Chains A and B, each alone.
Chain A
Amino acid sequence: MDFIFVFEQVLNGLGYGLMLFLIAAGLTLVFGIMDTMNLAHGSLYMAGAYIAARVHESSGSFAGAVLLAVLLTVVVAVVLEALIIRHLYRRDHLVQVLATFGIILIADDAVKAIWGVAPLLASTPAALAGPIEVFPGLPYPAYRLLLIAAGLLVALGLYALVHGTRIGMLVRAGASNRQMAEFMGVRVGAVFAFVFALGAALAALAGAMMAPISAVQIGMGEAILIPALVVIVIGGIGSIRGAFVAALLVGLVDTAGRAFLPPALRAVLPPALAAELGPALAGIAMYVLMAAVLALKPAGLFPARA
């Protein structure tokens, strides 16, 4: 277990965590501010991935593909908000779950109708396909470095937006006490629509960036939704800072579980048992983390409504 190995795993965990953050940020804002459970958030992630993969394949421009994916997904989200989500704000959570689950089913079938059932193969932009020597002895995929850089930039931008602008102040006001914000004259409808579109843009960006290193397929949105929900629960619902810290924690714990647990178990247990137990334990590492955090801080690490 040398330094290079550990450093590479930290980079891996960081990259995964930052992408989780992009998805969880939108989810936590929508849930925290609008008190609306939007299961269809994963479908926006899927839309971003599909559009980016298709546009990149046909145009050859990766930057253009990511941009178009974000723009088109935001358009879809605005329509979705006006047609369906807007009518759910004042209903109870069960109705919201039912309605947004229905959107997932429709979205999956729509993708099937437009792009077919076979998974798309998104390619890494040619300039970034190879490795970069981070320091001697550790070549690291250039694309993953881009992922980390983009994730950090967006996190900084989001922090500046939420904590440094007027609209950010309204968003925070809505998150900490919606009713009071309404009494103070905040036009919550407009704030909600803005937050929903922002969340969609972040999810689409994550989908577009993740497409080349994951599989662009139907159901990818549901698969990423589960770790994203774990992140917002750990971070405290409605809190961007919480989502950021929790996403990095989950990313690092998940990667560490996969990387360090099996060899560690092999050292103390018989090989057959270690081979059984290692992957199983690695798979539940992030849920153990969630349980531990909830036991100590039931409202999450950074609750928005303190």
Chain B
Amino acid sequence: MLQMKKVALALVLGSALAAHAEDIKVGIALDISGPFSALGAEARDGFDLAIDKLGGKLGGQPAEFLKTDFGGSPEQANQLVARYLQREKITFFTGPIGSNAALAVGPALFAAKVPYLSSNPGPSAYAGEKCSPWFFAQYQNDTYDEAAGKVANEKGYRNVVLIAPNYPAGKDHLNGFKRLYSGAVKDEIYTRLGQTDYAAEIAQIRSAQPDAVFFFLPGGMGINFVKQFVGGGLKDIPLIAPGFSADEDVIQAVGEPMLGVLNTAHWTHDLDIPANVEFVAAFRNKYDGRYPSVYAAMAYDSLMAMDAAVRDVAGKVEDREALLQALRKPSFKSVRGDFKYGVNNFPVQNYYLREVGKDAQGRLTNKLIGTTLEQHQDAYVGACKR
């Protein structure tokens, strides 16, 4: 209601000395303010690092990177994309954190034949019946939860309580968990979106006495939940989460109570792959020793994917069909390791188990435990007909 201010910070990097037919412009919509602000800041840092590394170019061609905050609002994202398309005539689009913004801006981009390389959300609609050749995902939202369900099986948890906010994504994530989990669901709790006080839910969990609790509570909701969970004396009940609810931003905000939280993701900062080691070192060097989160890593990867595709078509981005072919067969070294796209342009890739522990300096962070799902594909690909 009160979010009426638009702070547009268009930062122009690199000059457009255009010797070729089309200037390469990348439209980046950022969540610097709004509900996903902490995650948006992570993504921005990942983009900035990639732009530094690429020297402000894509595939060796001069490129322009337009970065604008849209405050997490789908309406503002729509206006921004309209401007990007009509005034700036962008070549690529990326940036939003929320699935709602991704779903809002997709149709206009696909109609304008602008590839949208999502740096974060992979909504089920775009993986299934509304799939588009112009949308490229980093992962499908539910796959994290599927991996978490398998972790629960492997740990031998037979009675699990599930908790998520009462909105479409919350239900998707719990359904994702139940897809591979084979034990009993002791209780399924839906909370108000944006709820900060979890006393009533924690009492329910205490009385249910589960083997473990699976929670999908992104951002501030998860921070409050874990603090109150431990404060309420439930720290002996193991917590499992999709990586979103236990990434670096949450870990640093919650502190010690996060120790031992199991979570799943398709990337982790201690993955021993040369491209990743280089990325993590550069990130920590640029940002005061902080570990990158998935949001930063995937923002970085998105620009690397664009860079490789532009190089593969020798800068001729106006040939959109050739550009799509190049994007579909990524020739860059991803920080997550090797992956390939399914027919819906959603990756077939590994998912890892991480546990919150301490690094050599005693800093709380996620540590890689092992691979949970190998070369896993999302559940919606069958519905993608085109």
A residues near B (Cβ < 8 Å) are: 1-2, 4-5, 8-9, 12, 15-16, 104-105, 108-109, 117-119, 121, 124, 129-131, 139-141, 143-144, 213-215, 217-219, 222, 255, 258-259, 262-263, 271, 275, 278-280, 283
Contacts and interface: CB of A to CB of B under 8 A. Distances in A.
A141 B202 CA distance: 11
28 contacts: A5-B207, A8-B203, A9-B200, A12-B203, A16-B199, A109-B5, A117-B33, A117-B34, A117-B37, A118-B38, A119-B220, A121-B223, A130-B233, A131-B231, A141-B232, A141-B233, A143-B231, A213-B196, A213-B197, A213-B224, A222-B2, A255-B200, A258-B191, A258-B200, A263-B204, A278-B190, A279-B191, A280-B166
A263 to B, nearest CB: 8
Nearest to A129: B231
B200 A140 contact: no
B369 interface: no
A48 B327 CA distance: 52
Contacts of A219: 2
A274 to B, nearest CB: 9
Nearest to A212: B227
Contacts of A218: 2
B231 A12 contact: no
B199 A15 contact: yes
B237 interface: no
Given A5-B206, A118-B38, A214 B224 contact: yes
Contacts of A131: 231-233
Contacts of A141: 228, 231-233
B355 to A, nearest CB: 23
Contacts of A217: 220
B235 to A, nearest CB: 9
Interface string B201-232: 10110110000000000001001100110011
Contacts of B33: 117
A219 B196 CA distance: 13
B37 A215 contact: no
A215 B224 contact: yes
Contacts of B37: 117-118
A101 B383 CA distance: 49
Nearest to B257: A129
Contacts of A222: 1-2
Given A214-B196, A214-B224, A263-B204, 17 more contacts: A1-B207, A8-B206, A9-B200, A16-B197, A105-B2, A119-B220, A121-B223, A124-B231, A129-B231, A139-B232, A213-B197, A213-B224, A214-B197, A215-B196, A222-B1, A222-B2, A258-B191
A12 B227 contact: no
A229 B232 CA distance: 30
B189 interface: yes
Contacts of A215: 196, 220, 223-224
A302 B224 CA distance: 36
Interface in B19-46: 32-34, 37-38, 41
A131 B234 CA distance: 9
Nearest to A11: B199
Contacts of B32: 117
Nearest to B34: A117
B318 interface: no
Given A105-B2, A121-B253, A215-B220, A12 B200 contact: yes
B188 interface: yes
A140 B197 contact: no
A279 B224 contact: no
Contacts of B189: 262
Contact of B190 (A140, A271, A279): A279
Contacts of A262: 189-190
Contacts of B358: none
B2 A108 contact: yes
B192 interface: yes
A108 B233 CA distance: 36
B231 A275 contact: no
A16 B200 CA distance: 11
A201 B46 CA distance: 44
Nearest to A121: B253
Contact of A279 (B166, B196, B207, B253): B166
A215 B218 CA distance: 13
Contacts of A108: 2
A104 B2 CA distance: 9
B199 A139 contact: no
B9 to A, nearest CB: 13
B6 to A, nearest CB: 13
Most buried by A among B188, B196, B224: B196
A262 B188 CA distance: 9
A119 B206 CA distance: 29
Given A117-B33, A279-B191, A130 B231 contact: yes
B192 A279 contact: yes
Nearest to A5: B207
A211 to B, nearest CB: 10
